[in-house]
Amino acid sequence: MAADYNVLERAGRTGENHEFLLTPGPLTTSKSVKAAMQRDWGSWDQPFIDLTAEICTGLNTMAGGGDDFVCVPIQGSGTFAVEAMLGTMVPRGGHCAVLVNGAYGERIVKILEVMGRCCTILRSPETKAYDVAALDEALRDDCTITHVAAVHCETTSGVLNPLNAIAVVTARHGRALLVDAMSSFAALPIDVRALPCDGLVSSANKCIQGVPGMGFAILRRKALATTAGNAHSLSLDLHDQWVYMEKSGRWRFTPPTHSAAALAVAIDEHTGEGGVGGRGGRYASNHGVLVRGMREMGFETLLADAVQSPIITAFLEPADSRFSFERFYDLLAARGFVVYPGKLTVAPTFRIGTIGAIEAEDIRGLLKAVRSVLNEMGVRDAAPARETTAAE
């Protein structure tokens, strides 16, 4: 395969990776993050207890939590953290309004339904940001709503929801906001005290650039202290995890030791890059290079630029009948770039993530590979069918 971009050469930086994951996580991690997993840790040993405390302090600082908030880590993928936050923070007799404009908002609804919590769904189209006025109205009309759940960056489409406006409206009505900041935390500014919110979740393997295995919640200490007995699940009880950890410094049940060790290094690298500003700046530059280059080839983004996040971008599939996503995917993967299928109902799309240990230079390598793949497929113009264009 005559790749015009030397992936193997670039692999030195990411530790023998032969492929770049241009996905929303797991994503490309640095060589030093992977190297941190070469040691075995005893979960009861002081060094691992210290490592856990260091991670929690680092994440709480990143969120602007101070003494009012605590970071509670939880084993599992990001969804486990979402489920743990909802089950712990929303009491059994609570009522949660859920803002939905994609698959992750739908997942919050499903979680609440499975655990038997009352919920009200406020849907917006997948290509639009949340409707803040509709939330305002719902909170005014229904005083039984106790909590509001929102997704910051809806990874389904890449749409960035207006978190500050949501928080202001929720606080004005005296309700508690819970945020799925899975794909935005560490790259886009979020200050939990200033927002305000009662809780936020994210995971190790998104913009912090760690590896999968654990998520975490940043929770308002006063609110968390009132949640004993709320949880529907033993293993996903964040109050219990918190109380045990405060007492012993240890995780209840086996911790993801290697993932935690990698996360500690990833947090150091995040700080070294200039924190949220530095990390978000690199992603914005990756995203800018990607969108300009793809538009030059005729591709169109699903979303209008005003609601597009720099995390992941959905592109409409070209109308040319010689284009097939499966073939496009395979030919790009053979050139060292793994992209992501679409997950939308409104139009056929595919997605390209711009997060992880990748730089503008890597995106330029991807653009060359896309050009060469289109050539190989015989697609001369990447423009989508007119009627599916949503980004006007």
Residues of the shown chain interacting with ligand PLP in the complex, contacts defined by CB under 6 A: 24-25, 77-79, 82, 104, 151, 155, 180, 182-183, 203
Q: In angstroms, give the least distance from the CB of 3 to ligand PLP.
A: 29
By beta-carbon proximity to ligand PLP, the closer residue of 238 and 367 is: 238
By beta-carbon proximity to ligand PLP, the closer residue of 170 and 203 is: 203
Contact indicator for 109, 121 with CB cutoff of 8 Å: yes
By beta-carbon proximity to ligand PLP, the closer residue of 308 and 372 is: 308
Q: In angstroms, give the least distance from the CB of 161 to ligand PLP.
A: 10
DSSP states of 113-160 as a string?
A: HHTT-EEEEEE--TTS---HHHHHHHHHH-TT--EEEEESEETTTTEE
By beta-carbon proximity to ligand PLP, the closer residue of 7 and 260 is: 260
In the block, tokens 């210290």 appear at 50
Q: Is the peptide bond before 26 cis (omega within 30 degrees of 0)?
A: yes
Q: In angstroms, give the least distance from the CB of 100 to ligand PLP.
A: 12
Q: In angstroms, give the least distance from the CB of 80 to ligand PLP.
A: 7
Q: What is the CA radius of gyration of the chain?
A: 21
Q: In angstroms, give the least distance from the CB of 82 to ligand PLP.
A: 6
DSSP states of 182-193 as a string?
A: TTTTTTS---TT
Half-sphere exposure of 68 (CA within 13 A, CB side): 12
Helical segments of 90-230, H only: 103-114, 132-141, 163-172, 221-224
Q: For residue 351, say whether it is annotated as part of any ligand binding site.
A: yes
CA distance 390 to 392: 6
Q: Give backbone dihedrals phi and psi of 357, rounded to 5 degrees, phi first.
A: -80, 65
CA distance 352 to 183: 14
Q: Which residue is nearest to ligand PLP (CB)?
A: 78
By beta-carbon proximity to ligand PLP, the closer residue of 37 and 103 is: 103
Residue ranges at the known binding site for substrate: 351
Residue ranges at the known binding site: 351
